[in-house]
Structure 1
Amino acid sequence: MFELTDEQRALKQLAAEVATERYAPHARSWDELRTPLPDEERRLLGSLGLLALTLPEEYGGGGRPLIDALIVLEELAKASPLAAWPVFEASTGPARVIHLFGSEEQKKRILPAVAAGESTIAVSISEPDAGSAATDAATSARVEGDEVVINGSKRWCSGAGHAEQYLVYVRFGPEPGAAGMGAVLVDKKTPGLAFGFQEHLMGHRGVGSADMFFSDVRVPVENVIIPKGGFRNLFTAFSIERLGNSTMSLAIGQTALDRTARYVQERKQFGKEIIEFQLVQAGLADMVIQVEAARLLIYRAAVSAGTGAPSALEASIAKCFSNEMAKKVSDLAMQLHGGYGYSHEYEIERLHRDSHGWALAGGTTTMQRTRIASEYLGRRFDQRA
């Protein structure tokens, strides 16, 4: 049993109040119009100290353990996944990579603006021929004097075109696999960087997703966050990001459960509330079991991590289960809502759409299973034929 401290309960209440009063009323229209989160809303989260809870205080963050950030992330995501996105990026995404692996100069230069909501960083890793096989990336980077020159293209970049900066994973040399890879921070306005059209995705609307094209993009060598050969260190950061991903799925499941619990006690058929029917009770019970199990797996990994990183095994288990839970629970919610679940009115269909995105992002559930087997057995499996 995980009991929240008084401080954590207060943090949870603050996040819930902001989410309910400020973001919930706009969630439907943001989704319909694919509207990016307004800059002033991101700055508000920064001013409230909710944006970068896991970053150290000396860089403008909250200096809190990972579990605190996940508590806030869930409350915001239950109201609007778009409002939760900057917290996801700052507390569990690319900003944490810079915190973990960047130089002191880089941390002082980059992170305070992120913590304040003045700047956002998106990650750019996938390519047309390098998705789950991220170490097959071909986008190249070469050092010329005091600059790094980047050429290539990226796909499925969440936040592309909206974020101010991008943590771009590149290949510094001819060495295959992880050996030649590193990461460079690139400003949105850098000459030679271009964006493709915004993808019309099934879910995650407003976050933005587009291709990125690099044609002799030059950035200062001081922007190299991960040097050549340092890619394997990122597995630590990936585990943190996977718990952020898991929590976004948890928020979907909890929201679907909450709305269904209300609906089945209001909707009447054959002269009584539909919750009186045993199959409806069983469906609701299955939703409760799935959501609570996901929360316990996430909390176990996060509490074990403290202010550091969770184990790869626990993070992958949490992500795999939570991703599939969100799909199952939102589908059950749709069934128990009947025709209303399939309509736009109750927003169950939006939850179901979004659930599929998290199961693809940050390593598919298929890849998580391979990771789980690998970590459990203490072996490494080569996926190449």
Structure 2
Amino acid sequence: MTFDLTPDQRELQQAARKFARAELPGLARRLEREDAPVPADVLRRYGGLGFLGINLPEEYGGLGLGHLTALAVLEEFAQISVAVAFPVFEALTGPVRTIERFGSAELKAQIIPQVVRGEKIVAVAMSEPGAGTALTDLATTARADGDHFVLNGTKRWSSGAGHSDYYITYCRFDGIEGAKGIGAVVVPKDADGVGFGKREELMGFRGIPSADIVLEDVRVPKGNLIIGAGGFGKLMSAFGLERCGNATMGLGVAAAALEEALAYTQEREAFGKPIVDFQAVQLKLAEMAMKVEAARMLIWRAAAHADAQPYGLPTQYESSLAKCFSNEMVREVTSLGVQVMGGYGYSKEYAMEQRLRDGFAWGIAGGSIDVQKTNIAASLVGRRFDQRR
């Protein structure tokens, strides 16, 4: 594979960069200050410019392009902030992809065009108070009742909870134990019986709502089924692309930290010269650049190989490598960024300290760093490890 973008991919990336850098920095600071999500009018603007449908099918209003193009665009938004990038992440690499790959034609036609236009947001409701990494322990139930499913349970750590319009809800069908009983349905925000807990206050991720979701006898039509009992493996396969999106969000944060550190160290003077002239600073900048470039190559490789894989999604091995490396990389790079900027890096007047806080979260969200390492080891030896024994 080539390690460069085609002219068409580069053109779209540059369009995203121009838009993001011209129009989003002020919004990003406001979302951070107010802990508010991207406003509806800005989301529709994203949609109107095509940024929410890059790798979604043309028949649903998308551009029908590849995952690599989508990730290149996502990075440009993430370089501004994770809050302004989050709707792009969700549309191009997140739960919408589960509907696109496994939902019925009717469900796709109902939801995907709304997402592409920036009119609706889809979130995922997976984790529970007693089921995070051990997702097969989930207790949310789905009981068939005529033409509907009736859902009961509580979801936790759902990014977008209370703000998003649809929730891909993982649940256990008909009391079947273990992974064999797990599937997913789409639950609309306004369905009777859907409630939301207190807004979480997190170290970072300001502007990305997170809260518990409480489901009490929530009735959803059977047409909202994405995958029923026995489809847990398919649901997990969709996370190959989500892992690449997660890695790209961290990459964008780290790339922006490197850019700011480069500018600062060439302007800031000490002992009569720019601090970039000191070897200790040069070494830190070089370390930052090496890590950023390596992360980008791992992500792009996973995306470029996806078309040849089942469902057109990145493999567990390559996506876990990319996510794990990026998750560790962004913590290291933003920490170095704070260090080279000194007191200014630690000040809320500058974006570096926010990048440090936002960057840390990607190694928790979407499967922790340690989970990715067990995925990598499992791929290397060709079998899953039983964590219960």
TM-score by structure 1 length? 0.98
Structure 1, 155-164 or 3-12: larger mean CA deviation: 3-12
The code of the aligned residue for 1:336 comes to: V
SS at match of 1:79: coil
How far did 1:235 drift? 2.4
Q: List 4+ stretches of structure 1 deviating above 4 A.
A: none
Q: Which residue of 2 aligns with 1:347?
A: 351
SS at match of 2:305: helix
Distance in 2 between the 1:278 and 1:17 partners? 34
1:199-240 CA-partner distances (Å, limit 9, x unpaired): 011111111000010110011111011111111112220001
The code of the aligned residue for 2:375 comes to: R
Gaps of 5+ in 1: none
User: Given the alignment of the two structures, is residue 338 of structure 1 paired with residue 366 of structure 2, yes or no?
Assistant: no
Distance in 2 between the 1:201 and 1:30 partners? 14
1:41-63 CA-partner distances (Å, limit 9, x unpaired): 11111111111211110011110
1:278-309 CA-partner distances (Å, limit 9, x unpaired): 11110110001100000010011111113821
Distance in 1 between the 2:26 and 2:18 partners? 12
SS at match of 1:169: strand
How far did 1:134 drift? 1.1
Distance in 2 between the 1:203 and 1:5 partners? 35
Cα pair 1:19 1:79 within 8 Å, conserved:
yes
Distance in 2 between the 1:217 and 1:60 partners? 30
Number of matched pairs:
385
How far did 1:175 drift? 2.5
SS at match of 1:306: helix
Q: Which residue of 2 aligns with 1:288?
A: 289
Distance in 2 between the 1:276 and 1:80 partners? 30
User: Given the alignment of the two structures, is residue 366 of structure 1 paired with residue 370 of structure 2, yes or no?
Assistant: yes
Distance in 2 between the 1:118 and 1:169 partners? 24
How far did 1:180 drift? 0.2
Structure 1, 75-84 or 320-329: larger mean CA deviation: 75-84
SS at match of 2:167: strand
- Listed as ranges, the matches of 1:262-281 within 5 Å are 262-281=263-282
1:74-124 CA-partner distances (Å, limit 9, x unpaired): 001111322211111111111100010011111112111111111110000
Give the RMSD, CA atoms, in angstroms.
Answer: 1.0
Distance in 1 between the 2:133 and 2:218 partners? 25
How far did 1:357 drift? 1.0
How far did 1:173 drift? 2.7
Cα pair 1:128 1:154 within 8 Å, conserved:
yes
Distance in 2 between the 1:7 and 1:119 partners? 28
SS at match of 1:14: helix
Cα pair 2:141 2:175 within 8 Å, conserved:
no
How far did 1:17 drift? 1.1
Q: Which residue of 2 aligns with 1:299?
A: 300
Cα pair 1:67 1:306 within 8 Å, conserved:
no
SS at match of 1:150: strand
The code of the aligned residue for 1:178 comes to: A
User: Given the alignment of the two structures, is residue 68 of structure 1 paired with residue 69 of structure 2, yes or no?
Assistant: yes
Cα pair 1:169 1:183 within 8 Å, conserved:
yes
How far did 1:276 drift? 1.0
SS at match of 2:79: helix
The code of the aligned residue for 2:209 comes to: G
Distance in 2 between the 1:343 and 1:65 partners? 39
The code of the aligned residue for 1:259 comes to: E
Gaps of 5+ in 2: none
Structure 1, 332-341 or 18-27: larger mean CA deviation: 18-27
The code of the aligned residue for 1:169 comes to: Y
- Listed as ranges, the matches of 1:322-333 within 5 Å are 322-333=326-337
Q: Which residue of 1 aligns with 2:244?
A: 243
1:110-142 CA-partner distances (Å, limit 9, x unpaired): 111111111110000000110111111100010
Q: Which residue of 1 aligns with 2:30?
A: 29
How far did 1:176 drift? 2.3
Distance in 1 between the 2:380 and 2:132 partners? 24
Distance in 2 between the 1:74 and 1:43 partners? 19
Q: Which residue of 2 aligns with 1:377?
A: 381
Cα pair 2:171 2:182 within 8 Å, conserved:
yes
Q: Which residue of 2 aligns with 1:135?
A: 136
Cα pair 2:144 2:174 within 8 Å, conserved:
no
2:320 to 316, 319, 323: 316
Distance in 2 between the 1:370 and 1:176 partners? 24
Distance in 2 between the 1:113 and 1:13 partners? 25
Cα pair 2:161 2:211 within 8 Å, conserved:
yes
Q: Which residue of 2 aligns with 1:231?
A: 232
The code of the aligned residue for 2:236 comes to: F
How far did 1:185 drift? 0.4
Distance in 1 between the 2:222 and 2:301 partners? 39
SS at match of 1:151: strand
The code of the aligned residue for 1:321 comes to: F
- Listed as ranges, the matches of 1:201-212 within 5 Å are 201-212=202-213
Distance in 2 between the 1:184 and 1:24 partners? 36
